[in-house]
Every structure is written in C-alpha cells, then in structure tokens.
A = this chain, B = another copy of it.
Amino acid sequence: MAGLCRFLEGAVKLATLKSGGRDGTLVVVDRDLTVAVPASPGARTLQAALDGWARIAPRLEVLYADLMQDELDAVPLKPAALAAPLPRAYQWLDGSAYLSHVERVRRARGADMPLEFLVDPLMYQGGSARFLGPRDPIRIPDPGWGLDFEAEVAVITADVPPGVTADDAGEHIALVLLVNDVSLRLLIPQELAKGFGFLHGKPGPAFSPVAVTPDELGAAWDGRRLHLPLLVHRNGEPFGRPDAGRDMQFDFPALIAHAAKTRPLPAGTVIGSGTVSNHDPEIGFCCIVERRAVETQSGAETLTPYLDHGESIRIEMPDPEGRTIFGAIEQRVEVRRS
C-alpha cells in the first residue's frame, strides 16, 4: 500500500459536476473517487483553471492534499452527477498513435497503410462543443450507422506555443484522462472519401469521471506515455486490455508538437492518443472494428456486431494495485428512431 498511497508532489484529481451551467462546477476529488470539494475560488470551472494553470494548479494541489488528510468538509462523489471534466472544450484533436489500430481499420475498408504513417502521425480536428459525461447514454436514431466505441488515453494542455518541439511539449501537459471516441463506422467511409475528414462519423466523445495531473500517475507516467493496461468491457464481458504504453508509435509530446506545427494550442486543448491497440491480437481490442478486421482476416463466418440499443460499454484503467485511477466510463446505448 505504499507507492501511490503517499502524497506525490503536483498530484491532483479533478472532476466537474453537471450542476452550475454548461461548464459545470469544478471539484477536487480524493484518490479513491469517494468525496469532493469545490475547487473555487479562482477556478469555478476547469477551463478557468486551465486559463491560469501556472497560478491555479498549486492551489488545487493544496486542496487535494488537505482533502486526502480529511481536513476539508467534503461531499460524497456520485459518478452520475458528473459531466466530462471539460464539459465543452475549445479544441479536441485526436491522434492515431497506435499503428496496429490504423493498420487493422484500414485493412477492414480495403486500404493499405502508407509507410509515411510510421513517421507522420494521423490526427483529426474533432468536435468539442459538447462532450458526454462518464455515465451519459450514447443516443443515436439509427442502428444502421454502425455504432462503435474507441477507448483512448488523452491529455489536456495548458498554453502551448506554436512550433513547439516534441522535447519541449511535455511540460505543457496539465492533465491526463480517458476517452470513448464514439464512432459511427458505417458513415465514415463515404465521409472520408470526400477528403475533408470526420463530421457525421464522430458525433462527440465521452470522458472519464476524473482527470489527473501527470504527477498523480507516479511511475506509470514516464513523461511521454502512460504504461498501464486499458480495460474495456462490453455488456460486462472483457473485450480488450491492451497496454497503453506499448506499441504507441507517437507519444503525447510528439502528438502535441504535430498539432502545434502551424499554430499555438490554447489552454484546454484536448489531445487523444487514438484507439489504444497492441500488435498482439490476443490482448483484445479497444474498438469493435479492429476485432472485425482480425475476424475477417481469419476467415470468420460472422463478425462481431456493432452496438445496438440497450448494450453497455465500460472503459477503465486500474493502477498497479487494482484501484481505479480515472473512474470508469460506463455508457448505455439508446437507439430511438426519430
């Protein structure tokens, strides 16, 4: 029980209550995700905290340390009352850092993986105006859209200058969290064929209950990657548990440097790893389409179906002692024809 139990300098866990308007109310959460205290003053919302991160973060660390020593009057934390840590963001950029994912998804739609993908990361500008909370249902009107999940790790940055190098980019990482990048597989091929990237195919991601500072992650965070398995369950059954630190071709500083090539990244930019994936298929998958690609290649007669009404998905990352770091993304699918 040593290790993560001690107080780590710079460690904080943050969440956002849905109450308090579109940006919710920022709270500091204890390590076990059982209680919370308001993060105000000066940081009523996570965006406000990120806008002044160098000044605000130390205050949040003090609150976190006090909360962990039972020195604050905290209230119970209810996952269903939580929005995404950033309920809406000014920027969501999603990379494709795990090339086994890229290779399998492209194979599924009959495309090879160009060699330059080994050195030049794929990344798309995603919709960030409405992020789903960790318990929010995924609602779609048409099961024929091919609903899939994508379990990822993401970082939230403070201000990043334009042209930052990968060597310098890591210092701008403020927080780490988990993502379900909801995908509508059967809308994507014709959308990408138009050449302007994703719009209909990515209706909006969901995020884990809490975001944590890199320091909170201890030895699992090496400054560039998060070395822990990401656990995915579909309807309570294990679906995959790839290690997020393994087979990550482009680490987070490299993804940030790529994103900042021609522009600054303002505070509150969320950058996703892309679907976590290991080359070894025995470890399972963080999205359905990868599993379908492997099934297709092995000549399976039926493919794993996409998500339908009433199904559930759970995405979580325990620490080496088995305790949840970010809390679980647990979403139910609601298909309602309009």
What is the bound-complex CA distance between A338 and B203, given in angstroms?
38
A196-B90 in contact given A129-B265, A203-B262, A264-B130 (Cβ < 8 Å)? no
| A323 neighbours in B (Cβ, 8 Å) | none
Q: Are A262 and B187 in contact (CB under 8 A)?
A: yes
| A247 neighbours in B (Cβ, 8 Å) | none
Q: Are B91 and A140 in contact (CB under 8 A)?
A: no
| A117 neighbours in B (Cβ, 8 Å) | 194
Of the listed residues A187, A199, A265, A266, the one surrounded by the most CB atoms of chain B closer than 10 A to its CB is A199
Q: Are A124 and B197 in contact (CB under 8 A)?
A: yes
Q: Are A199 and B127 in contact (CB under 8 A)?
A: no
Of the listed residues A128, A259, A262, A266, the one surrounded by the most CB atoms of chain B closer than 10 A to its CB is A262
Q: How far is the CB of A295 from chain B (nearest CB, A)?
A: 24
Q: How far is the CB of A248 from chain B (nearest CB, A)?
A: 18
Q: How far is the CB of A271 from chain B (nearest CB, A)?
A: 12
| Total identical chains | 2
Does any Cβ of B come within 8 Å of A123's Cβ?
A: yes
A contact residues, range: 35 or more
Q: Are A128 and B91 in contact (CB under 8 A)?
A: yes
Q: Are B200 and A197 in contact (CB under 8 A)?
A: no
Q: Are A197 and B145 in contact (CB under 8 A)?
A: no
What is the bound-complex CA distance between A264 and B136, given in angstroms?
15
Q: Which 10 A-B pairs have the closest CB atoms?
A: A197-B197, A90-B129, A91-B129, A124-B196, A203-B263, A203-B262, A129-B266, A200-B262, A125-B125, A88-B90
Known: A195-B195, A196-B197, A199-B259. 17 other contacts (CB 8 A): A22-B266, A88-B90, A88-B266, A90-B130, A117-B194, A122-B196, A125-B198, A129-B265, A129-B269, A130-B263, A130-B264, A140-B262, A187-B262, A192-B196, A195-B197, A200-B262, A203-B263
Residue ranges of A at the interface with B (Cβ–Cβ < 8 Å) = 21-22, 51, 88-91, 93, 96, 117, 120, 122-130, 140-141, 145, 162-163, 184, 187, 192, 194-201, 203-204, 259, 261-266, 268-269, 338
